[in-house]
Amino acid sequence: MSQQLPHENVNPAILSNYYEAPLAYPAGDEIWCYSDRPCYSPGDTIAFHVSTTASSYSLEIARDALELETLFTRERLSGQRHQTPPDASVIGCGWPVSYEFQIPIDWHSGAYRVTCRIERNDGKSLEQHHLFLLRSNSSDRQQRLLLVSSTGTWCAYNNWGGSNHYEGITGQEGRDFSPILSLERPLPRGFVVLPGDAPRAALAAIPGHDEPVSYPHMEWAYANGYCKKYASAGWASYETHFVKWALAAGFEVDVISQYDLQLRPQSIENYPCLVFIGHDEYWSWEMRDTVDDYVEAGGKIARFAGNFMWQTRLEDQGRRQVCYKSRARTEDPQRDTDRITTSWEYPQINRPGALTFGLNAIRGVYAGWGGCVAFGAGGFPVYRPEHWAFDGTGLGYGDVLGAQSRVFAYEVDGLDYVIRAGLPYPSGEEQVPDELEILALGLASNVEVARGLEPPALFLGSEDCEFHAEILYGEVSPETISLAGRGSGMIVSFRKGKGEVFHAGSVEWVAGLLRRDPQVERVTANVLSRFLNR
C-alpha cells in the first residue's frame, strides 16, 4: 500500500521521496493502524487507532519470538475511515480510538506483531502490520538479557505521512525533512515484516571492479512498494534476528523501548546486561544519563550496534521526537543550551558518544555500502586476539572477523587512533573512557567513489562530510573535508565505574547472527555469557 507518488507540494523532480499515506480520494481498499504508545506492561490497556475504507476488519496479535505465536484474534470489528492531516508525520494522525485491548498479565516480554486485515472487493485480503513492545513485570531478572529496541531510530526513519528526519514534505517549498516527528502514526511497510529475500543495506558481496555504484535495498524497496528506509531501521531488519538467535542459543531475553530509558528508567533495574542491536542512532540526554548511571553502578553493556550520532529531545510525554540535526544551530529553539539537537560532538553539547559507549559515529560511518569502501574487508581486522571476547574463535592477529557474513558494513563507529608497534590506541585527540582497548579496527569513508556514476546520481553527496568537517575541525575547507572523509570502525572494550562495556561498532553485526557466521556467533555468546556471569 506504499503510495509511491510525490506530495503535491513537492517538486516532481524529487522522485526519491516516496512514502505511505491514505489516498486523498480513496478509490480502493485501505487499512492503517497505530497504537497510543510503543511499549507497555502486562495488564496495561492498548488503544488501537484504525482507519479503513472497509466496514469491518479483523485484528490479530502474535508474539514474534523464536517462532511467531498468535495469541489473540478478534473478527468483524467496526471499521471507519478517518481524515488524516496533511502534516500527520509531524503532528500525528489524530484518529479516534477504534479498539482497546487489555494485555493479559501472563504475557511474556517481547515484541508483538499486530495484523489488521480487511477483505478487498476482489475477494482477496489486505493486511497492514503494526508492532508494540511488552516489558516484563517480573523482578527475577538476574539471568535475563534486556534488549533495548532502537525506537528513536525507528521514528527518525519512519516516512509514513510524508516526512522523516531525512526527507519530507515540510518547509516553505514542501520538500524538507522534518525536525519534529510524531509517534502517533502507523509504522511504514517493512519495519515490522519483511520477506526473506529483502536485501540488507550493506552490499551482499564485493562488486566487480567495473560495476557501477548501486543501492540494491532502495531499488528493491521502490520496486516492491516498501519503505525506502526499511533496511535502515525497524524490528524486521535488526532486533528480530538477534532475538531469534539469542533464544535459540539458550539466552532469555526481555525487551523494552529505548524511550523507556527516559520515561521509565526503572525498567532496567536488576538486569545484569543491556543489549543494543543494529542501527541505534538517535538518543536523548536523559537516555544516556540512565545508561551511564547503570554502568557506573555495576551494569554491563553489550552493544552490537553502530551510528551513535544525534541528540534528540522527547516532547508531549514521549509522543513527539525532535532532532534538527545540521539545521540545529539556526533553527532549534534550544540552540543556546546543551540540549541542542545535533551531533554529540558539537562543542556546545561536548558529550561525545565515546563517553558512554567508547566510540563515536562522527569518526566512522560508511563501509560496504554504495560507493563507500565497496571493496573493503567486509569484517573487522583483529588486532588483540588474546582478548576474552575472541576465546574459541581461532582468530589471530590480522585475521578478519565476519568477512563472509559482511558484518563490517553500512555504518560503523570509530575513534581517532594511532598505531604503535602494530597495535591501535586512541590518539588522545578526543575524550574516551580510561582503560579502553581497541580490539579490532577497519576503515570507513564519508565519500563515495563514483564508479561510473556522475556525482548527482550518488546517494551520499558531500553534505555529511562537510558537516563532519565543521564539527570536528571548526571549518569547511578542502583540507578538513579530506580529513573528515576518512573514518574507522572498531570493536572496543572497557570498564567504567563498577560496570563494563563491550561495543562492536557496526550496524550490520546482526547479519553475522542471521547468516550463522560461527566466529561472530562465538564472540556474541562470549560477551553475553560473561556479562550474565555464566
pLDDT value, residue 192 = 98
> In degrees rounded to 5, what are phi and psi of residue 165?
-80, 15
- C-alpha cell belonging to residue 313: 529531545
For the 31-138 domain, the top CATH level (class) is mainly beta
Cα gap 415→407, rounded to integer Å: 18
Cα gap 6→9, rounded to integer Å: 8
Q: Which helix (H) or strand (E) holds 144?
A: strand 144-149
CB half-sphere exposure, 278, CA atoms < 13 A = 28
pLDDT value, residue 10 = 27
- 172 CB-near residues (< 8 Å, 6+ apart): none
Nearest to 153 by CA among 288, 343, 306: 306
pLDDT digits (tens, 9 = 90+) for 53-109: 999 999 999 999 999 999 999 999 999 999 999 999 999 999 999 999 999 999 999
Low-confidence ranges of the chain (pLDDT < 50): 1-14
Neighbours of 424 (CB within 10 A): 22
Cα gap 202→367, rounded to integer Å: 8
- 435 CB-near residues (< 8 Å, 6+ apart): 494, 495
> What's 427's DSSP letter?
-
pLDDT value, residue 451 = 84
pLDDT value, residue 186 = 98
Q: What is the pTM of this model?
A: 0.95
pLDDT value, residue 27 = 63
| Amino acid residing at 506 | S
Cα gap 33→48, rounded to integer Å: 7
> Do 261 and 522 form a contact (C-beta atoms < 8 A)?
no
pLDDT value, residue 416 = 97
pLDDT value, residue 3 = 42
pLDDT value, residue 1 = 38
> Do 367 and 492 form a contact (C-beta atoms < 8 A)?
no
Domain ranges of the chain: 31-138, 151-531
pLDDT value, residue 273 = 98
Cα gap 516→245, rounded to integer Å: 9
